[in-house]
A and B are shown apart, each in its own frame.
Chain A
Amino acid sequence: MILRHIRTALFFMSPLLPSLASANFSIETDFPGGNALVEKIEGNVVHIAPDNRDSRLPWFYWYFAIKGAGGQTVTFVLNPMHIGARGPGISTDGGATWSWLGAESAKDGTFSHTFPAAANDVRFSSGMPYVKSNFDKFLAAHKDNPFLHVETLAKTGKGRSAPLLLLTDSQRKAPYVVALTARMHCCEMMGSYVLEGIIEGVLANDEYGQWLRKNVDFFIMPFSDFDGVEDGDQGKNRTPHDHNRDFGDGSIYPEVIALKERLPAWSNGRPLVFFDIHNPALKGDVHEVIQFLAGESPEQADSLAKFAALLERNQQGELLFRQNMIMKFGTGYNKWSETPPPISSGWARTLPNCILSATLELPYANASAMTVNADSARSFGRDIAWALKSFLQENPAAGRQ
C-alpha cells in the first residue's frame, strides 16, 4: 500500500519481531520542504520513494523526518538512483544543518541508521534541504547591514510572498548590476548555499566586499519557485512546464513574470551579469562536475570564458574549479531548439545591457571528487563573488568602473 502525502504515520513494530516489539516510530513530511511516499513498512524496514507530484518525469527529491526512533535501528530502502554520491543527507537539528551519511552508508539503495536513545526528530533527504526558514536564519545574521534590503518580489500562485533580496546602497546607484536566481527547479537546494556564499562575499569587510558594494547593485531571487520550495515539490519538469521553461512569451508563474518586469527596469541599462544557479541530476557523469552552461553567441561564450578564468585564478574555497568546466552551447544537455532558449539565463541574454548570462550547475554532493556540502558550497559562492569583482574590474567591455 502506498500512503500518499503522509502527514504523520505512526507504525508499530510487528509482534513477530520480539527484539523490536516495543519499538515504534513515525515518518513525517508535514514541514516545509517535506516530500516522501512511504510505500510499505516491514518490521523496521521502511520503503520510501520520492513524491513526484505534478512532475511529468520521475525525479529524485525526498525529505522526511523520523520521530520516536530513539534507541532503534531502522533500515530505509529506496531506488538506488535516488541516493546521491555521498549517501543521504542527515540532520539532527530539525533541518538547520546537514551532513552526508557517506557513500559507504548506502548500498543498492538501502541504508540503515541506529538512532541514539535521545533522538527524536531526525531528518533524511536526497540532499541538504534549504527552505525559507534557513534563509531567514541566514539573513538574521546580517539584519543590521545597511546594504541588505528584503522586499516581496511577487505573490505566488498559492499566495505566499516570494522574497526579493537587494544588496545596494540606497543613497546611490552602482555602475554595475548582478542578478542571481536560484531554485528555478525548487528541489535544487544546494544552489541556495552557493547564494549564501555570494551574499557573504558581497557583505564581507574585505577589499572584495568593499569594491562590490561600491560598484555593483545585486538583484537576488533566492526562491524562484517559492511555493515548490516550501511545499517540497520536485519542480523539475513541472506540468505544464517548470519555472525555468517559463521565459518565453506568455509566462505563467508570478515569480518569473515579476523578474521579467522588474530586473530590466531596475538595472536601467547598466551593465548586467546574470547567473541562474542550479543542481544537475543527483549523481554520475557530468553531474559530478561543476559546470557553467555557455550562451549561444560568441560574445557571451567569450565573456563566460573570461569569468571562468578569473574564477579559477581567484578561487580559495574547498571546491576546485577549472576554466574548462564550461558546457558549450550545443553540447551535452546545453542543446536547444529555440534561440535564445526559453530559460532564465537565455532570457537575460536578450537584454541589451547583459554582458554575461549563464546557468551554473553545482553538483549535489560530489564535484570532481571534492565534497559538496553547505560549507564548501558557500565557499564556492565566495569564490564567485571574488571573480565577479575581478571580471567587472578587468573586462574593458564591461562598461565604466
Chain B
Amino acid sequence: MKRALFLLLPLLPTRTAIADFATPFTAPPYTLGASVLGMEGWASRLKDYAGDGASSRLVAVRWDNFQPALLLDGASIKNDFPATTGARVRVTLRIAFTFPMIELPLAQTRILIQNAPFGEIIFKCHPQAGLGLAMNPKEPIKVLVPFDQMRLNSYYTVTILVDYEQSSYDVTATGLKHDGSPLLFEEKGIHFESNAKFLKNLALITSQTARTYIQQLLIESL
C-alpha cells in the first residue's frame, strides 16, 4: 500500500490515478510463505488472535504459474488505509477460491470496505449465491458469478467503478465458467444513496471451509 503511488492506466491514457490502496505482493517487505500481518498496514481484526499468522500468508500459487497471492484460510484481518480522494474511485479485485460444491452457508469470504456504496464483496457457497455484492451477509446477493458456474482455483477479476458525482457505480466480473468457457458480467449505472464520498479501511474475513486467494486488490482515486 503506497499512498502516493501513481500509476498510468492504459485504459485511461489522459488521466492519472492515485492508488489509495494496492497489494504489491511481488515487492518487499512481503515474503513468500510469511504472514502479511505487520506489513504495510495489515493487522488482525481480533486483538491478539494467534491464528491469523498462518491464515493470511503470501504464497506462490502453483496453478497460476507461481505468481504470488495472499492466501486466506480462516482469516480475519484488516488494513486501515486512508480515505480516497477522487470524485470517482475504482476497486479492482482478482480473487479465486477452493470450495465445496454444496450449500454451505458458513463457507464465506467477505471483503468489507468502509462506506462502500456497493456493500460487501462476498462469496458464499449457496445455489442462489456465488461471488457477488451484498449490503450485508444476510441480504440477498447481487450475483456476479453464480455459484454453480464457479470454477475452483480460477481467478475472477471484479472491477467496480464508483462515481460520486452521479451517485452510481458500474460493476464487471470476468473469468471462467465451471466448464472453462469465458464469463462476463457487466452492469452499469447502479444507483446508490450515500452521504459518504470516500472509501477507507478494509477488512477481509474468510471461513475455513473455503480457501481464498487474492492476487490483486487495488483501490484508486480517479
Interface residues in chain A, defined as those with a beta carbon under 8 Å from any beta carbon in chain B: 206, 313, 316-318, 320, 322, 368-371, 379, 382
Contact = CB atoms under 8 A, between A and B. Distances in A.
Given A316-B153, A369-B101, 7 more contacts: A317-B98, A318-B98, A318-B153, A320-B99, A320-B209, A368-B100, A369-B102
A369 B100 contact: yes
A369 B152 CA distance: 13
B100 A320 contact: yes
Contacts of A370: 100-101, 152
10 contacts: A206-B66, A313-B54, A316-B61, A316-B63, A316-B98, A320-B98, A320-B211, A368-B100, A369-B100, A369-B101
Contacts of B60: 206
The 6 A-B residue pairs with the shortest CB-CB distance, nearest first, are A369-B100, A369-B102, A316-B62, A318-B152, A370-B100, A318-B153
A371 to B, nearest CB: 7
B1 interface: no
A143 to B, nearest CB: 24
Q: Which of B54, B62, B98, B104 is the most central at the interface, judged by chain A CB atoms within 10 Å of its CB?
A: B62
A206 B62 CA distance: 9
A369 B100 CA distance: 5
Q: Which of A206, A318, A369, A370 is the most central at the interface, judged by chain B CB atoms within 10 Å of its CB?
A: A369
Contacts of A379: 63
Secondary structure call for the A interface: loop
Interface in B56-72: 59-63, 66
A371 B101 contact: yes
Interface in B23-72: 54, 59-63, 66
A183 B61 CA distance: 31
B45 to A, nearest CB: 21
Nearest to B152: A318
Contacts of A371: 101
A48 to B, nearest CB: 28
Interface string B83-99: 00000000000000011
Contacts of A316: 59, 61-63, 98, 153
Nearest to A208: B62
Nearest to B62: A316
A370 B152 CA distance: 10
Nearest to A319: B98
A156 to B, nearest CB: 36
Contacts of B63: 316, 379
Given A313-B54, A318-B153, A320-B211, A382 B62 contact: yes
A253 B182 CA distance: 52
Contacts of A318: 98, 152-153
Interface in B152-167: 152-153
A371 B59 CA distance: 24
A382 B66 CA distance: 14
Contacts of B62: 206, 316, 382
B189 to A, nearest CB: 37
A320 B100 CA distance: 8
Contacts of B101: 369-371
Q: Which of B66, B98, B153 is the most central at the interface, judged by chain A CB atoms within 10 Å of its CB?
A: B98
Q: Which of B101, B152, B208, B209 is the most central at the interface, judged by chain A CB atoms within 10 Å of its CB?
A: B152
A16 B153 CA distance: 52
A321 to B, nearest CB: 10
Contacts of B98: 316-318, 320
Nearest to B102: A369
Nearest to B101: A369
A369 B99 CA distance: 9
A369 B208 CA distance: 14
Contacts of A368: 100
B59 A369 contact: no
Contacts of B61: 316
Nearest to B100: A369
A162 to B, nearest CB: 32
B209 to A, nearest CB: 8
B175 to A, nearest CB: 16
Contacts of B152: 318, 370
Contacts of B66: 206
A370 B101 CA distance: 6
A75 B153 CA distance: 36
B104 to A, nearest CB: 7
Contacts of B211: 320
